[in-house]
Structure 1
């Protein structure tokens, strides 16, 4: 994820235009689809066992969360580095995992 966000940071001007309030809605969809693909690759590489519905829901949740964080990051004039926003995002995802485990 860090490499992707660093790449986005390098092209910040472009992403700010496309992700902003007057941006291109199809670009957000494309970015989310790109994230979906990367997440599915990670699931498959790590042999994570999920039924199809759970896998689809998990992938959609993660990609929407990540794209939402990236969008927030740009609308707030990148208040931190790519590494910091990646660390924050992973921390939130880990916290979410802990909450889900405690409810099981």
Structure 2
């Protein structure tokens, strides 16, 4: 009986989430009502309230679930060892990030559009920055001497990642996750000018 109830709850929440995403794409987040969600998910409002407090609670939980998957992939401890960066492992991690986003392409395309949740990209950046802070603390990066402050490095990497992801999803994921990983790694490690073919003069 417990397993059956669990499956029913999972199925209902899945229907609610899918209905919610469809409605955001159709009419925009701000215009959606609980009645809209319930009707589209073929449930009544009482059933919705058994699972979520309100629309904000639903979108928060939905975003948190997707971001948890994303941040689980971010693990600098794998490719950074005592000021040394293993480019191959770094690229593999970036490719895994793009692959994860590819699997949730519709979600990101809708959320990053004008119809999505206001501040979604900022929230995404803050979540990624916090994960980098925790990982850098684990490898004592803050205690090591670098010419660039770790906090500035975190901001730069997260901004580069978010900007690249936004461009990618807004251009219908025109390139593969692997290609995007190669490009982003070049941009981060070599710099935008040199990676584009410019010669740098002192």
The structure with more helix, counted as a fraction of residues: 1
Q: Secondary structure at the match of 2:119?
A: helix
1:76 alignment partner in structure 2? 171
1:57 alignment partner in structure 2? 152
What TM-score results when the alignment is normalised by the length of structure 2?
A: 0.43
C-alpha displacement at 1:46, in angstroms?
Answer: 4.5
What TM-score results when the alignment is normalised by the length of structure 1?
A: 0.76
Q: Distance in 2 between matches of 1:2 and 1:35?
A: 16
C-alpha displacement at 1:24, in angstroms?
Answer: 2.0
Q: Distance in 2 between matches of 1:43 and 1:50?
A: 13
Native 8 Å contact 1:19 1:27 kept in 2: yes
Q: Distance in 2 between matches of 1:25 and 1:57?
A: 25
Structure 1 residue ranges without an equivalent (≥5): none
1:3 alignment partner in structure 2? 96
Q: Distance in 2 between matches of 1:34 and 1:69?
A: 16
Q: Secondary structure at the match of 2:190?
A: helix
The alignment yields a C-alpha RMSD, in angstroms, of: 2.7
When the two structures are aligned, how many residues end up with a matched partner?
99
**Using a 3 Å threshold, how does the CA distance of structure 1 residues 42 and 61 change in structure 2: closer, same or farther?**
same
> Which structure exhibits the higher relative contact order, with contacts defined as CA atoms closer than 8 Å and separated by 6 or more residues?
1
Q: Secondary structure at the match of 2:175?
A: coil
Q: Distance in 2 between matches of 1:38 and 1:3?
A: 16
Q: Distance in 2 between matches of 1:20 and 1:50?
A: 40
Q: Distance in 2 between matches of 1:50 and 1:31?
A: 28
Native 8 Å contact 1:20 1:71 kept in 2: no
